[in-house]
Structure 1
């Protein structure tokens, strides 16, 4: 494993946000959802494409707080511009489990 300096970690803008909208992403090559995340006043609502269909239904996502990388360059996925990366962990059986918080925190709060 490569080590990094703390200054490198500080360059990553990790924030919590609440999923406010989700829908099936029909044009994605692999099963995915289009997700809209409210990341607070400073960042606003941002879009993301997420391959999380193994463990989550659309109704499970609305209102869920997730941890996002907010300072990657936007990425075009089919006809959709993904503006943030919703983070998660690969489960032992495959599929992604979303990174979330133990208790509700304000949207836009930064990870320290």
Structure 2
């Protein structure tokens, strides 16, 4: 594993947000959702494509707080522009388990 300096870590904008909208993403190559996340007043609502269909139904995602990388360059995925990266971990069932917070925190709060 490569080590990094704290300056490198500090460049990454890891923020918490609340999922406010979820739609199926039929044009994605692998099963995925189009997800809109409210990241607070400073950042606003941003969208992402996420391959989280193994462990989550659309209706279960609404209201869930997730940890996002907010300062990656936007990425075109099929006909959808992904503006943030919603983080997660691979599970033993090969699906992604979302990174979340233990307690509710304000949308847009930065990970330290």
* Residue 60 of structure 1 pairs with residue 60 of structure 2: yes
Deviation at 1:71, TM superposition (A): 0.2
Aligned to 1:100: 100
Q: Which runs of 5+ in 2 are unaligned?
A: none
* 1:87 match: 87
Deviation of the 1:58 alpha carbon: 0.2
Q: What is residue 109 of structure 1 aligned with on the other side?
A: 109
Report how many residues are paired.
112
Which 4+ residue blocks in structure 1 deviate beyond 6 angstroms? none
- Tell me the equivalent position of 1:16: 16
Deviation at 1:29, TM superposition (A): 0.4
TM-score computed with the length of structure 1 as normaliser:
0.99
Distance (whole Å) between structure 1 residues aligned to residue 93 and residue 35 of structure 2? 23
CA distance in 2: counterparts of 1:56 and 1:92, whole angstroms: 15
CA RMSD of aligned residues (A): 0.3
- How far apart, CA to CA, are the structure 1 residues paired with 2:34 and 2:93? 23
